[in-house]
Chains A and B, each alone.
Chain A
Amino acid sequence: METFDIAVIGAGPGGYPAAIRAAQLGAKVAIIEKEKLGGTCLNWGCIPTKALIAAAETFEKIKHAEKYGITVKDASVDYSVMIGNKDKAVGTLRSGINSLLTANGVKQFTGTASFVDRNTIEISGGASIPASRLVGSLAPPENGAHGVTRPTEHITAKKIIIATGSTSAMPGFLPKHERVVESRAFLDIKKLPASMIVLGGGFIGCELACMAAMLGVKVTIVELLEDILLLLDADVRREVRAHMEKNLDIRVLTGKALDKISADAKSVRGSFSDETLSADLLLCAVGRKPVTDGLKLENAGLKTTERGFIEADDYCRTKVANIFAIGDVTGKIQLAHYATAQGIAAAENAVQTKQHQHDTIVPNVIFTSPEVGTAGLSEDDAKKQNRAVKTGKFRFAGLGKGMATGENVGFVKWIADATTDQLLGAAAVGPHATELIAEAAAVIRSELTSRELGRTIHAHPTFSEIWMEAAHALHGECIHAPPKRK
């Protein structure tokens, strides 16, 4: 039985950075993956959706090119080419992870991991793959390693990091039919439907709804709660929803469940209130559930929470001393970059004696149209914590760059402590919001005050100037906005 210092279960955006960091620190590391390197993020999540959204946005721009004085005739979409490009990008990135793991001396195992005891893992249904046998862009073939299912293996490790991630939740009331899909299956359909119902107005549902709508699909979103994207402040939410409804023609129905869902060869149907909705496809995006099936956590003395998550503290430690947990399976914040931060902290805490917490300022980005980025405290959070804050807002329409490029929807907002002026949170909704939020995250983490940020010279003409303007707005000192009437 082979022995390791560290074994990582799951090679997603949490697991593979953990493995690499542990190897950098000199540990002998194993990583076990039952499907593909890169996990959900790379194969069926962040990356493929961004490839498709980029294509959709290009098409959207072409459709509206006339306002820039460019006439494009007969623009059309070949979805299969888009899918091909997406697969190519994903494949390239996946082989990149493989080379990184190999270069760092991390031993890869393919198969399903389960605990025998707190130090021993059984790996079944796969085998370790010598890096030399991996072909170019592709990780192991679908049917077991190289077509041959290897016998079950056992390894032991001093410390184990669980990074098994999450999977789409499919409620039991949904019919099992090819017209009813979740996000992973949706990304592999070869032809876009003419119409689509999106069940769930969270960020996954809204991103895919925007992408499909830009490519000409007639989209209806049904959300049980009172609004879509409820994690966002109301003003940010309103901006996104208004644009989705008015400019992308997406129908947004909220506050009630979609009942009596049925599917047949012709369509998928459901009733909302008194109305019957019908479409070619139903995309279910009601949330994600942790993956712990088959792990046999009980053999290691670990229990999941009522909702199935593995509890981990800010040092990524579980209740069992030698086992760490990171990423979606911990049920904290389900974001790839958060999993990565946790993974690096877990690896360092597993290898080194000095323990440290992972960071807590986590930028959140949503690739809807318009895009959204948030970091730190929201206005809603402040209200819940009963914390006195003030806000400074500035719209892209007031920005030279926004007007020049015609990208002028939306705004950014700073949330600052009312007494110390410390920048505690930020939200951006509008062009390049997902990129712009990076500055806000760095500023919040550095504990700058809005006065400091307001004095920081920002290049003109850029979209990033908007942070400076919004910081001025906090004190009613905007150069490019009329003074507020008293």
Chain B
Amino acid sequence: MATPIIMPKFGQMTEESAIVEWLKKEGDKVAKGDILFTVETDKSVMEVESFEAGTLLKIVVPPHVNVPVQSTVGFLGNPGETIPTATAPAPAAPKPATAAASVAAPAAPRAPIAAAVSAPIAAPVAAPIAPLPAPAAPSLFRISPRAAALAKHSVIDATRIKGTGPEGRVVEKDVRNYLQQHGYDKLRISPAAKELAAKEKLDVLAIQATNDSGRISVADVQRAVAEKPKPMSKMRQVIAQRLTQSFRDTPHFYVTISVDMTELIAYRNQLKAAGAPYTVTDFIAEAVVLTLQEFPDVNSSTDGKTTRWNSHVNLGIAVSIEQGLVVPVIRAAEQLPLLELCQRSKELATKARAGKATPDELSGGTFTISNMGMMDVESFGPIINPGESAILGVASTRPQPVVRDGKIVVRQMMKLTLSCDHRIVDGALGAKFTNAIKQKLEDIELWKRLTA
């Protein structure tokens, strides 16, 4: 009998996933190790390999449907083999988010597109034109076939029309009245623009002409298409959900200090010339790891009633990728010598950029560094990752005039901003912690010792 293909569980928190794309078609030969499909988890897109060889007999779960992990998504076997009556797993029902990971987009039908509600009508006309009403809820909307045909032919959104037929049904007369009220006879649109609006199911009355002639052009319709709401990727939805939660539930405050990086940069360049792999980010990471061990309060988390110290420093380093932002985590960073910390950080960043980091490598952090040094910024206050009590924002290093021994000199200055959870970290602690990082970065002897 055919073998079921199972939706794997990525990481401990994942409860449901959606297939992004099947890379094999039904009837395709599959070798062991071939990639069958890709899955979007809340962290990244993962490739799923086949554990067995055979033919892909049936695809049960199409792309973009959320199903619980461990569900059967397809069947593998020899051609002709019987397939157990394939019961497609019910798409994961929208339910109250229990864990942070479960933020599946509700699979309910999307509301009708309400493009630019009550946008002014295009044609410059003297007669007053009624503003477009809001569309009706899909379940309450009733329309006669003739009225529907006229609305479709006119390329308008019939759900905006108030029906006068039985039970509020929209009838042809309603559509005609509506067209007249909204200046449809004065509407000017190029044939290709109307065709495109029909294909994209847009309401031509809601599209604004931008050129001098007042005639809606293809470019105007394309603009309206671009303005249509689009679903965010799973990853962006997770980012949105987590950051909103953090910013809403965590009282943030910020401590900014300037660090003189002149000597450390010179030393790093010296090391680089000698072939050592260290980057300035590695030094900052190491300084943070050392400082967190001195200030266990900062390496902790709270639910508002209890605080929990973390025995390890699990250092997250935010990495910007094409689809958004991920935070690979260096676990037990306090146990790694500088060189290993540097290698591990590089390795994780590379994996994260390639979308190959596993969910476990992207979770469990106790403190995070967000480095925007390469983005030419003065300073910034990042948002704390849920479950942590602070995050360090690293800004660009720039030559700045500073006072040394009563004289103005030019030094390579970098601003560090610590965003703190005020429930655990008070101003004094935040200031001490940040200054402790600064002192380490400015202590060149420390780095000579650590890189020896």
Q: For chain B residues 186-220, which have a beta carbon within 8 Å of chain A?
A: 190-193, 195-196, 199, 212, 217-218
B199 and A452 contact, CB distance less than 8 A: no
B199 and A423 contact, CB distance less than 8 A: no
B192 and A447 contact, CB distance less than 8 A: yes
B199 and A422 contact, CB distance less than 8 A: no
Q: Which residues of A contact B192 (CB under 8 A)?
A: 417, 420-423, 447-449
Q: Which residues of A contact B193 (CB under 8 A)?
A: 447
A447 and B217 contact, CB distance less than 8 A: yes
Interface centre among B190, B192, B217 (most CB of A within 10 A): B192
Q: Which residues of B contact A447 (CB under 8 A)?
A: 190-193, 217-218
Q: Which residues of A contact B190 (CB under 8 A)?
A: 446-448
Q: Which residues of B contact A422 (CB under 8 A)?
A: 191-192, 195-196, 218
Q: Which residues of A contact B191 (CB under 8 A)?
A: 422, 447-449, 451-452
Does A419 belong to the interface (CB within 8 Å)?
yes
Query: Which residue of chain B has the shortest Cβ distance to A422 in the bound complex?
Result: B192
Query: Which residue of chain A has the shortest Cβ distance to B198 in the bound complex?
Result: A420
- Which secondary structure dominates where chain B touches chain A? helix
Q: How large is the interface on A (under 10, 10 to 19, 20 to 34, 35 or more residues)?
A: 10 to 19
B20 to chain A, nearest CB (A): 22
Q: Which residues of B contact A421 (CB under 8 A)?
A: 192, 195
How many residues belonging to B are interface residues under a CB distance threshold of 8 Å? 10
User: What sequence of 0s and 1s flags, for each residue 433-462 of chain A, a beta carbon within 8 Å of any chain B beta carbon?
Assistant: 000000000000011110110000000000
For the complex, what is the distance from the CA of A219 to the CA of B188, rounded to whole Å? Answer: 53
For the complex, what is the distance from the CA of A41 to the CA of B128, rounded to whole Å? Answer: 52
B36 to chain A, nearest CB (A): 28
A314 to chain B, nearest CB (A): 13
A381 to chain B, nearest CB (A): 16
Query: Which residue of chain A has the shortest Cβ distance to B196 in the bound complex?
Result: A420
Query: Which residue of chain B has the shortest Cβ distance to A421 in the bound complex?
Result: B195
Q: For chain A residues 79-112, which have a beta carbon within 8 Å of chain B?
A: none
Q: Which residues of A contact B196 (CB under 8 A)?
A: 419-420, 422
Q: Which residues of A contact B212 (CB under 8 A)?
A: 356
For the complex, what is the distance from the CA of A356 to the CA of B210, rounded to whole Å? Answer: 12
For the complex, what is the distance from the CA of A391 to the CA of B199, rounded to whole Å? Answer: 20
For the complex, what is the distance from the CA of A451 to the CA of B192, rounded to whole Å? Answer: 10
For the complex, what is the distance from the CA of A148 to the CA of B240, rounded to whole Å? Answer: 78
Q: For chain B residues 237-253, which have a beta carbon within 8 Å of chain A?
A: none
B420 to chain A, nearest CB (A): 47
Query: Which residue of chain A has the shortest Cβ distance to B217 in the bound complex?
Result: A447
For the complex, what is the distance from the CA of A422 to the CA of B222, rounded to whole Å? Answer: 13
Q: Which residues of A contact B218 (CB under 8 A)?
A: 420, 422, 447
For the complex, what is the distance from the CA of A38 to the CA of B217, rounded to whole Å? Answer: 36
User: What sequence of 0s and 1s flags, for each residue 170-198 of chain B, a beta carbon within 8 Å of any chain A beta carbon?
Assistant: 00000000000000000000111101100
A334 to chain B, nearest CB (A): 26
A21 to chain B, nearest CB (A): 17
For the complex, what is the distance from the CA of A356 to the CA of B193, rounded to whole Å? Answer: 22
A420 and B217 contact, CB distance less than 8 A: no
Q: Which residues of A contact B195 (CB under 8 A)?
A: 420-422, 449
User: What sequence of 0s and 1s flags, for each residue 257-293 of chain B, a beta carbon within 8 Å of any chain A beta carbon?
Assistant: 0000000000000000000000000000000000000
Query: Which residue of chain B has the shortest Cβ distance to A423 in the bound complex?
Result: B192
Q: Which residues of B contact A446 (CB under 8 A)?
A: 190
Q: For chain B residues 51-94, which have a beta carbon within 8 Å of chain A?
A: none
For the complex, what is the distance from the CA of A356 to the CA of B196, rounded to whole Å? Answer: 25
For the complex, what is the distance from the CA of A452 to the CA of B189, rounded to whole Å? Answer: 13
For the complex, what is the distance from the CA of A451 to the CA of B204, rounded to whole Å? Answer: 20
Query: Which residue of chain A has the shortest Cβ distance to B216 in the bound complex?
Result: A447
Q: Which residues of B contact A417 (CB under 8 A)?
A: 192
For the complex, what is the distance from the CA of A420 to the CA of B193, rounded to whole Å? Answer: 8
B196 to chain A, nearest CB (A): 5
Q: For chain B residues 285-331, which have a beta carbon within 8 Å of chain A?
A: none
For the complex, what is the distance from the CA of A419 to the CA of B218, rounded to whole Å? Answer: 13
For the complex, what is the distance from the CA of A442 to the CA of B190, rounded to whole Å? Answer: 13
B219 to chain A, nearest CB (A): 9
Interface centre among B190, B191, B195, B212 (most CB of A within 10 A): B191
User: What sequence of 0s and 1s flags, for each residue 108-129 of chain B, a beta carbon within 8 Å of any chain A beta carbon?
Assistant: 0000000000000000000000
Q: Which residues of A contact B199 (CB under 8 A)?
A: 419-420
Interface centre among A356, A419, A422, A448 (most CB of B within 10 A): A422
A186 to chain B, nearest CB (A): 43
B443 to chain A, nearest CB (A): 48
Q: Which residues of B contact A420 (CB under 8 A)?
A: 192, 195-196, 199, 218
For the complex, what is the distance from the CA of A419 to the CA of B192, rounded to whole Å? Answer: 10
For the complex, what is the distance from the CA of A448 to the CA of B199, rounded to whole Å? Answer: 16
A357 to chain B, nearest CB (A): 10
Q: For chain A residues 353-397, which have a beta carbon within 8 Å of chain B?
A: 356
Q: Which residues of B contact A419 (CB under 8 A)?
A: 196, 199
For the complex, what is the distance from the CA of A474 to the CA of B326, rounded to whole Å? Answer: 49
For the complex, what is the distance from the CA of A422 to the CA of B190, rounded to whole Å? Answer: 10
A420 to chain B, nearest CB (A): 4
Query: Which residue of chain A has the shortest Cβ distance to B193 in the bound complex?
Result: A447
For the complex, what is the distance from the CA of A447 to the CA of B221, rounded to whole Å? Answer: 12
A344 to chain B, nearest CB (A): 15
For the complex, what is the distance from the CA of A417 to the CA of B221, rounded to whole Å? Answer: 15
User: What sequence of 0s and 1s flags, for each residue 217-233 of chain B, a beta carbon within 8 Å of any chain A beta carbon?
Assistant: 11000000000000000
Q: Which residues of B contact A452 (CB under 8 A)?
A: 191
Q: List 15 A-B contacts (CB under 8 A).
A: A420-B192, A420-B196, A420-B199, A422-B191, A422-B218, A423-B192, A446-B190, A447-B191, A447-B193, A447-B217, A447-B218, A448-B190, A449-B192, A449-B195, A451-B191
A contacts, CB < 8 Å to B: 356, 417, 419-423, 446-449, 451-452
B contacts, CB < 8 Å to A: 190-193, 195-196, 199, 212, 217-218
A-B pairs with the 6 shortest C-beta distances? A422-B192, A447-B190, A447-B192, A420-B195, A452-B191, A449-B191
For the complex with contacts A421-B195, A422-B196, A447-B191, 13 further pairs of A-B residues with Cβ separation under 8 Å are: A356-B212, A419-B196, A420-B195, A420-B218, A422-B195, A446-B190, A447-B190, A447-B192, A447-B218, A448-B190, A448-B191, A448-B192, A449-B192
